[in-house]
A and B are shown apart, each in its own frame.
Chain A
Amino acid sequence: MEEQFSKAYDQYAAGILRHIYFRVSDWNVAQDLTQETFFKAWRNIAPQGSDVKIKSFKAFFYKIASNLIIDYYRSKSRNVLSLEEMEEVYQKEMACEPTQEKEVERVFQRREIEKHLSLLKDEYRQMLIYRYIDDLSIKEIADITGKTPNNVRVIIHRALQALKKKYE
C-alpha cells in the first residue's frame, strides 16, 4: 500500500497543488492544504490495513482537497478574494515576473484569466478548474462532487457563460 500511495502521490501531487491554488488564490495556503491533503489521505488509509482497496486515488485526493478548501473558506469566512486583494496579488506577482516581452504577455493573459476566475462563485470556479485545468472527465467530476453527469455539464456551461461576462 505504501508503494501504491507513493506512486499516486507522484502522479497527482502537482495537479492537486495547482487545483488548490486556483481555488484559494494563495500559494502558501495552497501548499499547506496540499500537505494536509496527503497526510489526511494517509491517515484515512493506514488504519484500514493493507487489504484496503482504493478505487481511484485521484478522486480520493480531490475529495479530501475539496473538503479542506471548504473548511478553509469557513475559517476565513470568505468565498473569494476581494477584487482589491486580487489586484494586490496580481501587482505583486507581476513585479517578479521575467522581462522578455512575450513571456510578460503570456503571464499577463494568465493573470487576467486567473483574476476573473477568482471572482466567480466557488461552485462555478470549482467546475471550471476540474474540467479545464485538472482535465477531469465529466464522470470523474460527478464522482468527486456527488452530482449527476448532466448536472455537472450544465454547471460547467453556466460557469463558462459567467466567466465570459467577466470579460465584458
Chain B
Amino acid sequence: MKDKYIIKALKKLRKTPIRREFLVSLKSDLKEYMSYHPVRGPIKAPITKPSHLIFGRIPLLKALALALIVILVFGGGGAAFASQASLPGEALYPVKTFTEDVQEALTFNLDKKVRLHTEFTKKRISEIEKLLEEKGVEARGLEVAQARLEHHTEMVARAIKKEAERGKEVSSLAALIVDDFYLRREEARKIFEAAKEKIKMQRTELHAQLVIAIEAGDKEQAEEIRSEIARLGLLKDEAEVRKNAAMQALRTQKYTLHGQLKKEKRLEVEARSKAEEIQEAKEKVFEAIEDTQEKMIEETEEVLEETGDILYESGVTPKGEQGSLQGTAQGQPEGINFEEIDAVIEEELSSELLFSEDLEGLLEDIEGLDNAGFDI
C-alpha cells in the first residue's frame, strides 16, 4: 500500500466530529475560572454579583430598602440614572440591576409586577443585541444578560401561577405574557442569527484570503488564516448555543403558563409552536448544507496546498511565485522538468549523506513525489 493512501486516510481523521457543546461549555467554565484567578491579582468574585459583605445576614427586602434610602439621601440617584445605559460587564451595570431589583421588591400589584418584568425582559434582549453588535459573541456580559433574562421570565410565570393558585382569574394576563414571550423569542432568534451571519461572512472572506495565501506559498499566513477560521467557527457554535439557551428560557415559562390559558388561546399557542418547530427544522437543514459546503471548501484548499507543496519541494516552483498551480486541475502540473529532479537526487545520493539520517529524510521526499503520482 502506498504511503499516499495512508496519509490521505490519516488526514481524513481531521474531520472526526467532536462535541462542540463541550467546547462551548468548557469555554464558559474557563472564563469563570479566569475571573476568579486573574492575571497577577488577588482572587476576587466577579463584580456581577451583589456583595454579601455589604448586606450580611439582613433580609433582602430590608437591605434593598436601606440601600435605596442611602442612595437617595446621598444623591446616588445620579449614578442610578447614569447606569441605565450601561451594559452587562460594565462598571455601572450592578447599579442598574440593583435599581431594578429594588423596583421589583417594592411593587406589590400583580399587573404592575408582571408589566415590570416584561419591561426588564425587553431590556435584556436589547442589551444582548447591543453586546453582540459592539463586542461579538465573546462579550463578557452576555452570560449575565442571559441569566437575568431567565430570571425575569421565571419571575413573571411564577407570579401569575401564584395568583392562579389563589383562585384569581389570570387567563388574560397569562395570554398577554405568552404573546410577549413569543415576540421576545423571535427577537432573540433574529439577534443571534444576525450575529452568526456576520461570523459566516467573515469566514467566507477568510477562505478567499486563504486560497490566495496558499497559491502564494505563504504557509505562515495560511496557518494564521486557518486558525482564525477555526476560532470563528467556535464563535458561531457559541452563538448557536446561546440562541438556543435564550429561546429555551422563554419557551419553558410559556409552558408554565399554558395551564392558565383559555382553550382557544391554547390552540392558538400550540399552532404557533408547530410553526416554530418547522422554522427551526428548516434552519437546521440550511446549517447542515452550509457545513457540507464548508467541508468541501476545506478539502479543496487542502488539495491546493498539497499540490503547491509538491511543486515547491520538487524545486519546480520557487516559493511565493504566483500562478504556480496552473494546470494542476488537469492532473499534470505544467513546467515540471523530471530530468532536473533526477539530477538533484543523484547528486544528493552520491554525497556524504549516504549513511546519515538526512538520507532517510531525502528518501521520504522522493517517496512523496512518487506517491503524488510523478513518474520518478
A binding-site residues for B, Cβ under 8 Å: 1-2, 5-7, 9-15, 17-18, 21-22, 27, 31, 34-35, 38-39, 42-43, 45-50, 52, 58, 106, 109-110, 112-114, 117, 128, 132-133, 135, 137, 150-151, 153-154, 156-157, 160, 163-164, 167-168
Contacts and interface: CB of A to CB of B under 8 A. Distances in A.
Nearest to A152: B361
Contact of A150 (B6, B230, B358): B358
Contacts of B223: 137
Given A9-B30, A15-B230, A38-B26, A109 B360 contact: no
Contacts of B289: none
Contacts of B31: 6
Interface stretch (B13-21, B162-170, B259-267): B13-21
B16 A157 contact: no
A128 B11 CA distance: 10
B227 A11 contact: yes
Given A2-B39, A167-B1, A133 B357 contact: no
Contacts of A156: 364
Contact of A14 (B29, B228, B230, B364): B230
Contacts of A42: 30, 33-34, 37
Contact of B10 (A10, A35, A47, A133): A133
Contacts of A5: 34
What DSSP secondary structure best describes chain B's contact surface?
helix
- Residue among A10, A22, A110 with the highest chain B CB neighbour number at 10 A: A10
Contacts of B358: 150
B138 A6 contact: yes
B143 to A, nearest CB: 13
B181 to A, nearest CB: 32
B7 interface: yes
Contacts of A11: 227-228, 230-231
A151 B357 contact: yes
B234 interface: yes
Given A10-B235, A110-B13, A163-B6, A153 B360 contact: yes
Given A11-B227, A133-B11, A157-B363, A50 B39 contact: yes
A18 B16 contact: yes
A2 B37 contact: no
Nearest to A13: B23
A65 B175 CA distance: 54
B219 to A, nearest CB: 7
A46 B38 contact: yes
Interface string B108-123: 0000000000000000
A16 to B, nearest CB: 10
B3 A164 contact: yes
